[in-house]
Amino acid sequence: MKSVLLFTCATWYALSVRAQASLYGQCGGIGWTGPTTCASGSVCTVSNAYYSQCLPGAASASNPTTSSAPTTAPGGGSPVSSSTASAPSSAPSASCSDLPANPGPLQLVGVNIPGFDFGCSTDGTCTVSGAWPPLTQYYGADGAGQMTHFVNDDGYNVFRLPVGWQYLTNDVLGGDLDEANAAEYDELVQACLATGASCIIDIHNYARWNGEIIGQGGPTNDQFAAIWSSLAAKYASEDKIIFGVMNEPHDIPDIDTWGQSVQAAVTAIRQAGATTQLILLPGNDYTSAEEFISNGSAAALMNVTNPDGSFTDLIFDVHKYLDSDNSGTNAECVTNNIDDAWEPLTQWLRCNGRQAFNTETGGGNTASCNTYMCQQVAYQKQNSDVLLGYVGWAAGNFMNTYVLSETPTESGSTWTDAALVSACMAPNAS
């Protein structure tokens, strides 16, 4: 059976003309200079503003928009439309596990800039006074300088900016954005935007508020939607903003009910006017890439849509560390995660016409992590049709002695990167 499949795929590619993208190949997106038409039997389908892919189907004169590629960044393109989004495949073809011939570069690569999430624990308890803005005007690290260095010297183009929910509302559940606290957080957001990079607004509460799970005994879906409505309205005109619905949900009793909570947030974001920015959808088990399918997150989040029923610009949020217990607390790495996590996930994504974004990964500045992280990054590059990229953990207010530190050292006007950043994480490293 395997030999038949390989022969079939080889024949398919041989028959594809030079000017056409192959089945599951890239056919459009921001910066794409390759073919924009697809081989017979497939149609160029918009996944998001950064990526269009040849998926099984036939082009129709009544629906020509499915073969056009986006030319603007999220927020700057045309409104989300079900006519430009492909439906999940109900019967994946055998060839959907094949690597694309020309996957193109990873679209988003960067690092987390923590500080506003300090004081938060994994039970969703966040002490407002524990937040420490990673900005020199608040006696924190030079987060603005770090981001400028990462963009100019390392080639990064995205930063994740974690923040506690309690900090945003000054500890009032269901409250509006606190004017003073939101202004301080916005200073970090604006410093990020000033670099030209994309900026992920990440509520870092583990699907909880003070120990109680959203939509399942804790904050109501309406309260969750309200904070996202406020944030989306504030940044609706910023095309470089990405909305990270929630950091690392875990121990969620009912994953389908959690999917409804995520849906409430997505609907609120879109209805607040942020109609085309990327939204990251998080699953259970600390958004584990390895458990995303088996724990039911994939099935539950497949049902989350934009208000018009499409899933354009809705990206699955996954995390994966490389240490022995997948916790991201150990300096040594023991796996590249390919066989157990990335291979099954990329196949599922490709078969279902969806994409994921690894917004937390990292390791110690050790030889073992250099080896395994380089392998993981190489694999993600080979599968960039379905993996948008990765964001390392972490710089910002973390000291250089932190076990997973990616904080660069500043000496005068010179920045020196952590070993793992220099070896594998920075795009310019390769």
406 annotated active-site: no
Tokens read off for 233? 């309205």
Q: Does the annotation mark 360 as catalytic? A: yes
First to last CA, the chain: 37
d(CA 36, CA 46): 11
Q: Are 278 and 45 in contact (CB under 8 A)?
A: no
* Rounded alpha-carbon distances, angstroms, from residue 329 to 203, 324, 325, 426: 21, 9, 9, 21
Token pair for residue 268? 């609120």
* Token pair recorded at residue 148: 């400028």
Report how far residue 326's alpha carbon sits from residue 329's, in angstroms, rounded to the nearest whole number: 8
- With b for 16 or more beta-carbon neighbours within 10 A and e for fewer, the 205-228 pattern comes to bbbbbbeebbbbebbebebbbbbb
Residue 302's CB is within 10 A of a number of other CB atoms, namely 16
Q: What is the DSSP letter of 359?
A: E
Tell me which residue of 292, 241, 289 sits closest to 108, measured CA to CA: 241
Beta bridge partners of 26: 53
Among residues 238, 290, 291, 360, the one annotated as catalytic is 360
**CA 355/CA 302 separation, integer angstroms:** 11
- Dihedral sign of CA atoms 364, 366, 370, 376 in order: negative
Rounded to whole angstroms, how far apart are CA atoms 289 and 292?
A: 5
For residue 425, the 8-state DSSP code is I
Report the relative pairing of strands 51-56 and 26-28 from DSSP bridges: antiparallel
| Calpha distance 91→89 (Å, rounded) | 5
Q: Which of 238, 248, 290, 291 is catalytic?
A: 248
Both tokens assigned to 209: 């508020």
Helix axes 255-271, 221-235, angle to 10 degrees: 30
Active-site residues, by number, are: 248, 360
